[in-house]
Structure 1
Amino acid sequence: MSLDAELSALAAQKDLAADLVWRLLRHPEARRMVALLRWDLTEAMIEEIIALGSVRSLSLNRSVPADIRARLAEHPESIVRCGIATSVADDPPGLLARLADDPDPSVRMFLAENDHLPPELLARLAVDPEPRVRRQIVHHWRDAPEWVRRALMTDPDPHVRRDGVLKYVPPADLLPALLADPVTRAAAVEYVAPSPELAADPDSAVRVAVADHPDLSAGLRDQLAEDPDMFVRNAIAARPDTPPALRERIVATLQTDNPVAEWALRYRRHPNVGGKPSPGPPILTREQAEALLARADL
């Protein structure tokens, strides 16, 4: 581990003495880690971090006091306001509404992830002129009212409406249009009965969705087991109701020189197989931390 990495690891260590944290602020990489992760920052430390130019990292630290976060919500750099917008509470009242009116759409996009947003602000962002904002609402407003879900599933932006159909259960009256739309057809397949027409769709994503369908018939399963697209065949191999002999035959056809595709195919069939998590950095004693800081001239 490099010296910079060791200092960054120390900066994230729990129960680190305040005088050691102060010394770490003199190192740029360690200071950014302190600003980002530490929950025990004093007001003086926060002001020093801001003065030394690590305010971007500080904006993402949810443990920073509310008055500091409200101050950073007015920062001239939009990237700082983005960091604050992700998690700030409405303290003082009206802060969230001001962020919802921020002229930079990136700030509003990050605000859409905020768990503190009341329904009225979520609804405002659901019709925001910026598609990226509406897309974030799809991802984060699980219990959106019906009018919002309908609006997002029929949004003029293709990414928003595709994500809307992936996220929400479409009402029956929207299904014909969603199936007719090439952008949303694959996502809508889950809500209709599999058919030979869908199993022969020119879009392989649609055929993968058919292969995943819980009500897939044996006949369509066998048809898709011979599909020219290996990801469609792999979806059939991943089904728990696929006969073992058919699964083995399909797997034998899944040859690729692309290591990423090979991993994706294997993971699809065995999603719970993975390596052991890497161990965290060692916890340093006071003496070891002092020695590390001395090596870095801190």
Structure 2
Amino acid sequence: MSDTFPHRQGDRRFGRVNWMGLYTLAEREVMRFVNVWTQTLLAPLVTAGLFMVIFSIAIGPRRGDVMGMPFTTFIAPGILMMTVIQNAFANTSSSIVIAKVQGNIVDTLMPPLSGAEMVLGYLAGGIARGLVVAVVIALGVGLVLGVWPQYPLVTLVFVFLGAAFLSGLGIVAGIFAEKFDQMAAITNFIVTPLAFLSGTFYSVSALPPGMYELTHINPIFYLIDGARYGMIGVSDSSPVVGFVISLAAVLAINLVGWRMFRRGYRLKD
């Protein structure tokens, strides 16, 4: 059997895009989280708010400035980005895994969509969810803490890259996982540690040797660090270097997702 789906012949078309199919898939992925907004939007915002309250009460009064910023101000961009990437990952991974478990993934595979079009369609949902969450949290941080993005465009770029990277990772994880417990394992043992151990709540300059170098291998560190620079004007690394590494990570992970869709890896018996 060929490792390429028959309808994937569209991958070899020159200059032709199934815009209607791409739009339909993207619209479906966006409406998935909009229709259950209390779970997909409200719940993460409440969680982010609880993080801010807990850290402010438990640590804030006793913690000195971090990189010249009050502790609550310092962690706000990290919490924002952590919430964005968790939601972007959940949107694409859950969509694919649920479709595979319920047996209706064929409804997505049968239309004449190329691998690239399928990746873009799923990305649209994850990125849209991440951006909505980011805007609402940024408004909350601004109104409560009085912290507004110093460099809005930089903040937007890194939030977009963060949502795109974790949406792509969610595509890869969703295709790889065969059932819900495998997806839970990927979330608990890969995504969550990468998010928490990336400078979300601390400056990596305080880390001991070894941990400091390991953190700089983690692409999520550059996403959080870049968002922090855009929000409050301080960072542990160069925002330019962070942008280049983040963009490379986005392209790499989505290239893997495209390849998996094109080959039908774990999508068709």
TM-score with structure 1 setting the length: 0.21
TM-score with structure 2 setting the length: 0.23
Which structure's residues are more often helix, by fraction?
2
